[in-house]
Structure 1
Amino acid sequence: MPLNKAGLESAIKAVLTAEKAKTSGSSIDSLASGLANAIDTFVKTGLVSVNVTTTGSASAQAGTGTGTIS
């Protein structure tokens, strides 16, 4: 699944809105935790595509790979 920037933006807005609505005062720790959770979820939804080039026999291979996250 590709990265969902709109979903991340919505999650960040939700965290900020929730902090703004608190009557007992907002907390840096609470804000940081909410943002960290939103970013963690965003990154974990990324699709990693890798091209690997190998050398060796069927039982002993070595290689390197390059790729992208989308």
Structure 2
Amino acid sequence: MALNKETLKNSLKTVFQQMSTNDSQENSIEVLADRLSTVIYDFVKTAEVQEGQSVSTTGTAAAQTGQTTTKGIII
């Protein structure tokens, strides 16, 4: 799935709304950091790298090793 900015925005809004109703100021920075890091981590995990990157190999047909020669594109 491609990254969806609107999904991230809505997830962040949910976190901020939850925090605005949090009456306990105790550990609020810790809770906010935890929730934000989870939302951002989950968002980034949805990224895909476009297939079809060029690869240069060395060696014989029996010993193919190498690296991609072009940058991946996150979609």
Task: Provide the TM-score with structure 1 as the length reference.
Answer: 0.85
- Number of matched pairs: 70
Are the aligned partners of 1:54 and 1:61 in contact in 2 as well (CA < 8 Å)? no
Q: 5+ unaligned residues in a row in structure 2: which ranges?
A: none
Q: Distance in 2 between matches of 1:33 and 1:24?
A: 16
Query: How far apart are residue 68 of structure 1 and its match?
Result: 1.0
Identity within the alignment, %: 39
Task: Work out whether 1:36 is the aligned partner of 2:37.
Answer: yes
> CA RMSD for the aligned pairs?
1.6
Q: Distance in 2 between matches of 1:33 and 1:58?
A: 49
Q: 5+ unaligned residues in a row in structure 1: which ranges?
A: none
Counterpart residue identity of residue 31, structure 1: L
Higher strand share: 1
Q: Single out whichever of 21-30 and 54-63 deviates more from structure 2.
A: 54-63
Q: Could you report, residue by residue, the CA deviation over 1:19-61 in whole angstroms, capped at 9, with x for unpaired residues? A: 1101222600000011101100110000112503132333211
Task: Provide the TM-score with structure 2 as the length reference.
Answer: 0.80
